[in-house]
Amino acid sequence: MNDTTTRVEDEPASPTTPPARQRRLGRRIGLAAAFVLILSGVAMLGYVGWQYYGTDIVAQNRQADLRETIKAQWQHPTVGAVLGPEAAAPALGSAASLMRIPRFGADYEVPLIEGVRDEDLELGIGHFPGTGPGQIGNFALAGHRVTNGEPFRGLPDLRPGDEVIIETAEATYTYVLDTDPNDLVVPFTDTWVIEPVPIAPEGQAPPGMPTFASTEPTKAIITLTSSSEIFHTDDRMIAFGHLVDTTPK
């Protein structure tokens, strides 16, 4: 009797079975994976929030400072400003003029930046190097519809007859749109729209687009370009206009 009891009590406890350890390990791995996914989701939301809201706040503050800098420069013009629009081409990233579009409201006043690189478009509306404001040829501009201050968010609202006003140190140039930006959408690889003489391929010219007798520029025109959709797309909506007034300062 006692021997039997002793043998039973002396038997070692059963060790944890391998399946139990595997279950615990699986739970830990699952929790770790869930934690990583949550962190990834938070990071992604933060990135999207920064792109669509944060860059706007930063860009609007930078553009406000740049507007004041440009206006101060007008009070103390450089040699290039004194020589006028035919002077040497400005450096990429530089800013010396402002754009106003009455349809966008009385407070709409955006710096024009030389160049269309990412860093240029972060500061305002980019100018494709070439024809300057008021000059014969195609004064071509690009801007974001979302992020970085979204200066061209309202581009689809523009209509033929709307004014685009460019102010520089030496003059104010008023252009009037000839075409509706919703009437012409092209791939970003279609560079004919920013040529000095933007001659549309057959069947692509939007209603109201100016006609040209040759490939030599004889008119002062303006081209506005931006993404055709709010979210990422390789297509661009295009509006054309022409110069109607130059008011020297």
3-state secondary structure the chain: CHHHHHHHHHCCCCCCCHHHHHHHHHHHHHHHHHHHHHHHHHHHHHHHHHHHHHHHHHHHHHHHHHHHHHHHHHHCCCHHHHHCCCCCCCCCCCEEEEEECHHHCCCCCEEEEEECCHHHHCCCEEECCCCCCCCCEEEEEECCCCCCCCCCCCHHHCCCCCEEEEECCCEEEEEEECCCHHHCEEECCCHHHHCCCCCCCCCCCCCCCCCCCCCCCCCEEEEEEEECCCCCCCEEEEEEEEEEEEEEC
Give the count of domains, the chain: 1
Please tell me the pTM assigned to this model.
0.75
The encoded tokens of residue 222 equal 């303006």
In percent, the amount of the chain with pLDDT more than 90 equals 62
In a domain, 41, yes or no: no
Residue 46 predicted with pLDDT over 90: no
- pLDDT tens for each residue of 104-121: 999 999 999 999 999 999
The encoded tokens of residue 128 equal 């494709």
Confidence of residue 102 (pLDDT cuts 50, 70, 90): very high
In a domain, 34, yes or no: no
User: Max alpha carbon distance in the chain (Å)?
Assistant: 120
Instruction: Give phi and psi for 141, each to the nearest 5.
Output: -130, 155
* Pairing of the two strands 95-100 and 163-167: antiparallel
Residue 236 predicted with pLDDT over 90: yes
Confidence of residue 90 (pLDDT cuts 50, 70, 90): confident
175, HSE (Cβ side, Cα atoms, 13 Å): 32
In a domain, 22, yes or no: no
8 A C-beta contact, residue 90 and residue 96: yes
Mean of the per-residue pLDDT values of the chain: 85
In a domain, 124, yes or no: yes
Confidence of residue 1 (pLDDT cuts 50, 70, 90): very low
Distance CA 1, CA 107 (A): 102
In percent, the amount of the chain with pLDDT more than 70 equals 74
In a domain, 17, yes or no: no
Select, from the ranges 10-24, 27-41, 232-246, the one with the highest average predicted confidence (pLDDT).
232-246
Residue 36 predicted with pLDDT over 80: no
Give the pLDDT score at 7. Answer: 47
In a domain, 151, yes or no: yes
Mean pLDDT confidence for 158-182: 98
Confidence of residue 6 (pLDDT cuts 50, 70, 90): very low
In a domain, 6, yes or no: no
Domain containing 156 — which CATH number?
Answer: 2.40.260.10
Range of the domain at 111: 50-248
